Structure 1
Amino acid sequence: MDEEDSVGANKCPVCGSDPRTHPGLRFKINTKCYHRICEGCVDRHFSSGKAECPVGGCHVSLWKREWRTQTFEDLKIEREVEIRRRVTKILDRREEEFETKRDYDDFLELREELVMNLVFRTDVAATNRKLKEYAQANGIKTDPTDGPEPGAKAPRRKDMAPDAADQSGLIKGLKRIVIPEAKAPYDPFMGMPRTREYYEVKESYITRVRGKPAEAMLAGGYDFAQYMDESLLRAFAGLGVFIEDEMSARDNTAIPVPGPT
């Protein structure tokens, strides 16, 4: 193909714009039908919302944001790279998630098989169904441009089986999910009983000091009575702790230092 034919092949299939007569003409492609049209046609056909691809005979519905600048000169390479990116985003597993190295190798072989099915258009419907079922079972959003199906609810992590690494059954050999035990909330008093035997908070104290009902006062996010109670608790928390007893107990358990011989 000579230079003139090459330039002619770059014409927009919709409006016929030619780079020879429109310097700076830029083209965009989409990752569904991979048709290539100029930016002007993208703006005219998709600025109002979702519409069909304007290339003759194509009825794929697209959003304007689905059109992007072409990366590779060969559209076949462009398509394969996009398919690999999409499949890898869904089947994103690491070696440490599998029981054995053989299980991980089987997973890589499965992923490559699914990629090749889409690249060479073999069992496309079955392959897409497997990917969709896996994504839905594992709470993965596959297409950010499409909204949820009517009446469909996205699965929530808390609704999934706690010991299932893949509920769809597509991937084999995954380790069982081990949920760690919940940690106890932090206790600044380190288990010391929080008794209020050293003081008593009365409503009359608060009302007399402030001259307002306790409900009208807040302090640090607490009700004022709660704030005063917490402050007094911390102030009196040291009562009943005898430093001398603790020091003697510490000295008795200390390792003696041998003297000079």
Structure 2
Amino acid sequence: MPPSRESISNRGDDDEVCPVCKSSRYLNPDMRFLINPECYHKMCESCVDRIFSGGPANCPVAGCHKTLRKARFRKQTFEDIGVEREVDIRRRVMQVLNRREEEFDSKRAYDDFLEQREEIIANLVHGTDVAKTEGDLQRYASENMRSIRANQALEAREASSFQEQQTHEQELARLRRQAAREEYENERREILAGREDVLSRLAAGKPADAATIAREGHKVLLKKSSARRSEEERIRQKQAALRNSDSRKAGATAVDRTTESRDSGFIKGLKRIKTPEPEKPYDPFGGLVPNKRDYYTLRDSYPSSYLDPIRQDTRMQAGGYNLQEYYSRTLMEAFAGLGCFVDEEVARRDGAISKPNATEV
């Protein structure tokens, strides 16, 4: 039965009252509520200081006998305490089961690991086989502490690298904006200086030389503008080359993780991480040599009473007809089946059909 509207409205009022001292936020607007991840019972900060300042003590909420410590009290992040508890459980489990996709033999094995991790989280959240689940989790943590710490260190390095990259990109964006503003100011000052120079020369010169002075001033401005743009382009290319060099160095100095992966029966499909082999250059023919001929040699001409008139006919040659293409196609069709042995292919096919499939149930 869904909760009534009155219970929903009263629930917000209950959340503003400390269950220990019954103080209300209505009377004390500065009151702060804290929770402890041991039992997730909420109480005000004054009760926490009063009860737990002398050391660990039992939870003062009626019916809860868990021992709490003041250092573990913190402010609630989510409004729903169930969501708060699930997030804490998920964070704790994922710190232990922190395997990465490259540690598994296949994508299916990694998907099975993710499903197993979600089942463990669901069991702890809903209270299903908690003792067994906690025991399996602790046993796995003790047996694979080395790989867990290695993955935690790698994750910390990735987070730090990402943060540094974001900071670096923000700084580059700021420098680009500053350079754009300086470029605009410099260009504006050069234009004003050029105009003042042209005006001063016009004032000091003769009226007949006005057009020549204006053209010369315009040429000077264009020359300065082109020189400035070429210098900016050179600087941008140099910065791009430096960024590419830094990325190559980062890829070359990447940590080669060869940590031991022990298959304790809790997680299946783990493998020892190997350095991937460099990719071979792309071959669009898949190793096939286009002009390679195993059984014949293509000649320039062959005697034929049918083809000789065509070879001597200028109209056929003007139309683009090439007898070499005809020779090549005809010989290829004649020798194409010499490397195919139908009996052997049929025998291999029949053997593959009759062999039982290992994946069938």
> Smaller-chain TM-score range?
0.5 to 0.7
Task: Give me the identity figure in percent.
Answer: 54
1:29 to 2:125 alignment: no
Instruction: Give the equivalent residue in structure 2 for 1:40.
Output: 46
> Is the 2:35–2:42 Cα contact (8 Å) retained in structure 1?
yes
Q: Aligned equivalents of 1:100 and 1:22: distance in 2?
A: 58
Q: Which has the larger radius of gyration?
A: 2
- Long gaps (5+) in structure 2: 1-5, 150-257, 275-361
Runs of at least 4 residues off by over 4 Å: 2-5
> Is the 1:7–1:19 Cα contact (8 Å) retained in structure 2?
no
SS at structure 1 position matched to 2:12? helix
Q: Residue 271 of structure 2 is aligned with which of 164, 170, 175?
A: 175
Q: 1:45 to 1:101 in 2, by over 3 A?
A: same
Q: Residue 49 of structure 1 is aligned with which of 52, 55, 58?
A: 55
Q: 1:163 to 1:71 in 2, by over 3 A?
A: closer
SS at structure 1 position matched to 2:55? coil
Instruction: Give the equivalent residue in structure 1 for 2:236.
Output: none
Instruction: Give the equivalent residue in structure 2 for 1:113.
Output: 119
Quick check: 5-14 or 91-100, which moved more?
5-14
- By how many angstroms is 1:17 displaced? 0.9
Instruction: Give the equivalent residue in structure 2 for 1:64.
Output: 70
Instruction: Give the equivalent residue in structure 2 for 1:95.
Output: 101
Q: Residue 20 of structure 1 is aligned with which of 26, 35, 43?
A: 26
| Length-normalised TM-score, structure 1 | 0.56
1:82 to 2:81 alignment: no
Q: Aligned equivalents of 2:37 and 2:264: distance in 1?
A: 26
Q: 1:107 to 1:21 in 2, by over 3 A?
A: same
SS at structure 2 position matched to 1:134? helix
CA RMSD of aligned residues (A): 2.4
- By how many angstroms is 1:11 displaced? 1.1
* Post-superposition CA distance 1:201-225 (Å, at most 9, x none): xxxxxxxxxxxxxxxxxxxxxxxxx
- The 5 A counterparts of 1:181-192 are none
Quick check: 26-35 or 132-141, which moved more?
132-141
Instruction: Give the equivalent residue in structure 2 for 1:147.
Output: none
Instruction: Give the equivalent residue in structure 2 for 1:122.
Output: 128
> Is the 2:263–2:270 Cα contact (8 Å) retained in structure 1?
no
Q: Aligned equivalents of 1:163 and 1:88: distance in 2?
A: 19
| Length-normalised TM-score, structure 2 | 0.41
